Amino acid sequence: MARAIWKGSISFGLVNIPIALYPATRREELKFRLLRKNDLSPVNYKRVAEKDGREVPWDQIVKGYEYEKGKYVVLKDEDFQHVDLEATQTVDIQDFVDQEDIDPIFFYKPYYLEPQKGGDKAYALLRDALKDSNKVGIAKVVIKTRQYLAGVKPENGALVLELMHFADELADPGKLHVPKKTGVGKREMDMAKSLIDSMSSKWNPEKYKDDYREALMEVIEEKVEAGGKEIEETPKKTPKPTKVIDLVSVLQKSLEETGAKKKTAGKSRAKKAHPARRAA
């Protein structure tokens, strides 16, 4: 587990639970350097002042808010702390709401909560009470220099703090040009439902991999083996959007292909289940 990024407490009513905050996800991104084309020399970033173009050392940099065009007020670390010192150390639960009442679009970044010394019993109490009642604790928390809305909920034996969007941060889908009435016939609808049913399975997160990252790593390895030379690639065809008149035939073909895949997968499983038959 990585180092805790934040330490404080969960507060609801008069209950106070000391906790530490840990990232619950990690992003395996490939890192690239900017290079000069002619000799592949790494290009570094410099902090340059707009006024005279001179590089500015870190100890000469401050944070400023532009309250008018070209006019700034400087804020120090103490200023951020003075906003609400208690809030910067507390996950303050304000309400408990039914989990199914919250649109998943509000949630976007999870963190694990770990109880600190003396907090085990209260931690377990909150976790189990939330699980039994299927509730989410809606809280506010300040991390670094920003206040977040967050949900506190049980997950795999731990409490998770999942950051949420405030309502005014969500874009209005009503401004999108989406069809109000589909005009789809019963036959198309039945076939679409059949296709969804044939492609339905139990949720298995291990099934899904980052294909783009793996493919990009293959390209990198090929270029390393080729000494950095260009590799010829066959251009890929971009799938064309389905026309309305082709909708039925496309659905029918999809159903046939899905059925064929399921039959092939079923035969493969049967062979694995009967090694003696395969050997014979």
User: What's residue 120's pLDDT?
Assistant: 93
Alpha-carbon gap, residue 91 to 137, rounded angstroms: 10
Choose the most confident range, by mean pLDDT, from 83-92, 99-108, 136-145, 233-242. 99-108
Share of the chain above pLDDT 70, in %: 82
pLDDT greater than 70 at residue 239: no
Structural domain includes residue 259: yes
SS3 track for 11-63: EECCEEEEEEEEECCCCCCCCCCCECCCCCCECCCCCECCCCCCECCHHHCCE
Q: Are residues 193 and 165 in the same domain?
A: no
Q: Which two tokens stand for residue 235?
A: 């251009």
Cα–Cα distances (Å) from 74 to 3, 78, 79, 173, in that order, read 31, 11, 9, 38
Phi, psi of 256 (to 5 degrees): -65, -45
Q: Are residues 149 and 117 in the same domain?
A: yes
Nearest to 61 by CA among 71, 80, 75: 75
- 239 vs 113 pLDDT, higher one: 113
Q: Are residues 128 and 90 in the same domain?
A: yes
- 64 vs 228 pLDDT, higher one: 64
User: What's residue 277's pLDDT?
Assistant: 45
pLDDT digit string, tens, across residues 20-67: 988 888 777 778 888 888 888 988 888 999 989 899 999 999 999 898
Nearest to 25 by CA among 10, 5, 9, 41: 5
Alpha-carbon gap, residue 63 to 56, rounded angstroms: 13
User: What's residue 278's pLDDT?
Assistant: 45
User: What's residue 87's pLDDT?
Assistant: 59
Q: Are residues 99 and 154 in the same domain?
A: yes
SS3 track for 144-178: CCEEEEEEEEEECCEEEEEEECCHHHCCCHHHCCC
Q: Are residues 257 and 163 in the same domain?
A: no
- What is the span of the domain harbouring residue 130? 6-28+82-169
Alpha-carbon gap, residue 30 to 50, rounded angstroms: 32
Q: Are residues 129 and 16 in the same domain?
A: yes
Q: Dihedral angle at the C-alpha atoms of 211, 212, 217, 222, nearest 10 degrees? A: 100
Structural domain includes residue 239: no
User: What's residue 37's pLDDT?
Assistant: 85
Q: Please tell me the total count of domains within the chain.
A: 2
Q: Are residues 21 and 104 in the same domain?
A: yes
Report, as an integer, the average pLDDT of 192-205.
87
CATH number at 89 reads 2.40.290.10
Structural domain includes residue 49: no
Structural domain includes residue 54: no
Structural domain includes residue 74: no
